Amino acid sequence: MAKKKEQTALIYNGRPLVKRGNEVIYGDINDPYYIHIRILETSNKKDLELATYVVVSLMQGVKMVKKAEREGIYRALDIGAFWLEDALENNKDC
């Protein structure tokens, strides 16, 4: 019998980063806020598919709080990580 492979999420700045299809979730969806990234355009570079245009959203449950368009996944994660940290920190104060 084959041993079951344990799945682990990528970690970025101490938070989980999970990709499914053209969507990326950064943070824990069970927290009050998380980041949703939708990949709209990609390009191929040396057999590697890269996200070239994305929409990044700060989510509170199913409600979108902030939204921006960025060129590339790194720029989306950069603004998304800032939004997420700020939102979670401000949520502690309430």
Torsion of CA 42, 74, 34, 14, to 10 degrees: 130
| Band (4; pLDDT cuts 50, 70, 90) | low
How much is the pLDDT for 90? 92
3-state secondary structure of 44: strand
The answer to whether residue 37 scores a pLDDT higher than 60 is yes
Q: Are the CB atoms for 36 and 28 separated by under 8 Å?
A: no
Predicted pLDDT at 8 = 67
